[in-house]
Amino acid sequence: MNIKGIITTFILLVTISVSAIAQKNYKQEADVAFSGYKYYQAIDLYKKAYTKEKSKEVKSEILFKIAECYRLKEDGAQAAVWYNKAITAKYEDPIAILYVANIYKSQGKYEEAIVEYNKYKAANPSDKKADDGVKSCQQAKDWKDNPTRIVVNPMPLLNSEDFDFSPIFADKKNSEIYFTSTRQGSAGDAVSDVTGMNFSDLYMSKRDKKGKWSEPVVLNSTVNSPASEGAACLNEKRNTIYFTRCGVQNKGVMGCSIFTASKAGQNWGEATVINVAQDTFTVGHPAISADDMTLVFASNMPGGHGGKDLWFITYDKKAKTWSEPTNLGSEINTPGDEMFPFIRDNGELYFASNGHLGMGGLDIFKAQSKGVNQWTGIENLQYPMNSEANDFGIVFEPGQDRGFFTTSREGGKGGDDIWEFYLPPMIFSLEGVVKDVETDLPLANAKVKLVGTDGTSAEMITDENGNFAFIENGSARYINPNTSYSILVEKEKYLNAKGKETTVGLEKSKKFIHEYALQPMQGPIKLPLILYEYNKADLLPESKDSLNYLYNIMMDNPNIVVQLRSHTDYRGTDSYNQKLSQRRAQSCVDYLVKEKGVPADRIVAKGMGETEPLAVKKADGSVDFVLDQKYIDALKTKEEQEAAHQKNRRTDFKVLRDDYVPKADETSSEN
């Protein structure tokens, strides 16, 4: 029996003998086959029954049952066709509409799916599945528009036109894998009544030094049998295998069980069953913990939360027995199906589910370990790891952010295919340009320093166009993940500029673009507006923020000595304006020295009075006009004249020297 068909529907198989000669009622025969989970066989019988049935109500039921067979054997396209036929034939149960919506979602037809979910909600308003379905469609569209940085690729050398799934690493070097396949060449030649496909077996492939995988070969007969085998895991030493076997008759019951075998030389020894549950229930998909003490698996046994749940058992070394099974709880398990668990070496639990909100079909989820055999914080791995199709059976290469998973999406060879995935390193770069703030022209030979919180540092010189770029640093990078950076830009006869950048919390590669405009030291440099009490030199509180601008410049440029200058307009006497401007300049200096801690020998107060009216410059830096008394008196309105006076009432500074050497006891921190 095909283990994929069984373990994805994960049902109990019961052998029921039906005599085709004695039974002439095709519908009854079909119902018997359906109840025995022989969907492939039941489809043909239902179709025959439909052609002979005269009751419209019964015919609609038959159409629904045909659709159910296709759905349960994982042929969504045909299932949707037959569900729609049943709906057209007035099949009464709105569940058919919900199934159509789910299928459309699994085909990536999200808009069509939303329409069907809304139809289902109208027919069954109390069922939250409709709202969940709409939400999952909208979420899936967003994930596809904003993919994670995971890279996925099909593995054509491992896949066939049949079903290939659930790979695991089989050796300590991670150069050998086992996986499940229904391809030709299996240990048994039977065909499943569930799916109409071959029974499955475990296969092995090896990777050579060039990274090429060998032609897969079937494992020895102690593991593979005429039944279906698959969905396996190996212990830490790679000398014990746990796997699922389905189709083994025991006390009249055919189902799935977990078997184990130990290495006997190069081959596996005889397999024995692990008695986890009563024979009337099915278990499979084993996943072993790193310490080999916990086995997580999927089962439909009672005590769960819905379809197939994840459970675990623990091993008692002294007694050499496994414990009774424990359900992983409602945070992991849902009314839907949870299957294909995998425990990563860091303790994270990965599994497939169609019960948690996903993109369609089975999605792969992960949960963080919160203690011994406890997991929390369910996360969907999103696109492209997940898709609208079935995605399951993930395995990580130990210690690495790469591995394999299974998907039925387009781009493969068969029904289910093995794909690789890897998480490429995040690539960050910092690029930019340095210009003159007054001319907007690029500055060549400016020095750009980069210092990271991880202890790294680097330095670049701008080219003739003022450009700089921190990209590759040999085989490494200048900009690292989870690091904050301080940036210092320097050029002779220009004030320094500083910047910051961080990659902390970023989950995708990013190119940072910075532009720095350096202020030439030559000539006066205007400060933000500084306000005083009317006709006084006392600083208003808001003026201190403007002076902090100068303070920051002096801290960023510890080698400069500045002259802080205060200007007045021409109204009032020359003497009065000179004295007032000197007092105002001194008030600014006193604040910077006494309150901010600037050394007194680094700053000088200079009252300019009305002696230096503002020179208004053109874009190229040349003087356009000067706001002197003649110019202002010629302005037509009082408003224009007052605006000109306001521009003359200003505070600026000039750099007197750039060779100041700080004393040993001086500090650049604020007081």
> How high is the pLDDT of residue 618?
84
> How high is the pLDDT of residue 589?
96
Please check the confidence at residue 12 and state whether its pLDDT lies above 50.
Answer: no
DSSP 3-state assignment of 401? Answer: coil
pLDDT tens per residue, range 443-494: 999 999 999 999 999 999 999 999 999 998 777 889 999 999 999 999 999 9
> Residue 23 corresponds to which tokens in the numbers above?
């039974």
Model confidence band, residue 610 (pLDDT cutoffs 50, 70, 90): very high
Distance CA 330, CA 552 (A): 56
DSSP 3-state assignment of 371? Answer: strand
Dihedral of the CA atoms 624, 626, 632, 638 (nearest 10)?
A: 60
pTM of this prediction?
0.75
107 within 8 A of 75, measured Cβ to Cβ: no
Q: Helix 76-88 crosses helix 95-106 at what angle (to 10 degrees)?
A: 150
pLDDT tens per residue, range 287-326: 999 999 999 999 999 999 988 999 999 999 999 999 999 9
Distance CA 169, CA 180 (A): 13
Please give the domain boundaries of the chain with CATH numbers for all domains.
3-145 (1.25.40.10), 151-422 (2.120.10.30), 428-518 (2.60.40.1120), 525-657 (3.30.1330.60)
User: Quick one: which of 654, 652, 646 has its CA closest to 570?
Assistant: 646
Please check the confidence at residue 520 and state whether its pLDDT lies above 70.
Answer: yes
Q: Label residue 284 exposed, middle or buried (CB < 10 Å: 0-12, 13-18, 19+).
A: buried
| 113 backbone dihedrals φ, ψ, rounded to 5° | -65, -40
Question: Which amino acid is it at 444?
Answer: A
Please check the confidence at residue 651 and state whether its pLDDT lies above 60.
Answer: yes
Distance CA 182, CA 191 (A): 10
